[in-house]
Amino acid sequence: MSLEVEIVPCLKDNYAYLVSDAEKTLCAVVDPSEAAPVTVALKGRALTHILNTHHHGDHTGGNLALKARYGAIVVGPAKDRDRIAGIDIGVDEAGWRFGPYAVRILEVPGHTRGAITFVTEGRAFTGDTLFSLGCGRMFEGTAETMWASLEKLMGLPDATLIYCGHEYTENNGRFALTLEPGNDALRTRTAEVAALRARARPSVPSTMAMEKATNPFLRPNSPEIRKKLAMDGESEAAVFAEIRARKDHF
């Protein structure tokens, strides 16, 4: 992989990401909720692009200040460009190029109507659609819409690194264990996450293989989960909807 990714903690539990080439001639920030931590992390480098996965303020709050300071180009979902602060380029599944790097755009509505995921060089920046061991709330979509978006993400190669928008993994893991306590991979993962968080280390990135093996929102076909929910024979979308409803009140 020729692009480098640096995690930038923001606000209480947000993550922004600096994505740069080896020569540092290209440098993008994904989902800057605030400008100050990004400016510190840049260490004098120029910021060329700002990439937004969706319109929420805790993912776009730093756009205007960073754009004013660095002249960065703001890239976000074309279908939601009226709600992306400072947007210059609206993108869709036709894709986009970050200098010489091809960037695949996946439209993944559900959390918001215009949510997208940026995929490049074996990495997926999923915003609030897919979390490590979790998924976002459905503020602007139905369970069927959100499940279709998650299925789309599950089509990515297993080795894809998943960079999500928040450090929610520990709580997500506690919830996951209420549904699938017999999942050995999940128990191992939650122990690893607890150890990382005890040292104030990020739990991200995850991998798509790990999410498919442990994330209950990607596992509506799990016999253990279906038995726990008394939903044998129900559709995947229906089981997903029940999992999401339970997490909303966890």
Report the 3 state secondary structure along the chain: CCEEEEEEEECCCEEEEEEEECCCCCEEEECCCCCHHHHHHHCCCCCCEEECCCCCHHHHCCHHHHHHHHCCEEEEEHHHHHHCCCCCEEECCCCEEECCEEEEEEECCCCCCCCEEEEECCEEEEECCEECCEECCCCCCCHHHHHHHHHHHHCCCCCCEEEECECCHHHHHHHHHHHCCCCHHHHHHHHHHHHHHHCCCCCCCEEHHHHHHHCHHHCCCCHHHHHHHCCCCCCHHHHHHHHHHHHHCC
In a domain, 88, yes or no: yes
Instruction: Please check whether residue 105 lies inside any domain of the structure.
Output: yes
Range of 73's domain?
Answer: 3-168+202-212
pLDDT at 1 over 60: no
CATH number at residue 107: 3.60.15.10
Percent of the chain with pLDDT over 70: 100
The model carries a pTM of 0.97
Catalytic residue positions, numbered: 54, 56, 58-59, 111, 128, 166
Residue 124 forms part of a structural domain: yes
Q: Is residue 250 part of a domain?
A: no
Q: Is residue 237 part of a domain?
A: no
73-118 pLDDT per residue, tens: 999 999 999 999 999 999 999 999 999 999 999 999 999 999 999 9
What is the pLDDT at residue 44? 86
Domain count within the chain? 1
Q: What is the pLDDT of residues 214-239, one digit of tens each?
A: 999 999 999 999 999 999 999 999 99
Q: Is residue 155 situated within a structural domain?
A: yes
pLDDT value of residue 95: 97
pLDDT over threshold 80, residue 51: yes
Terminal C-alpha separation, the chain: 38
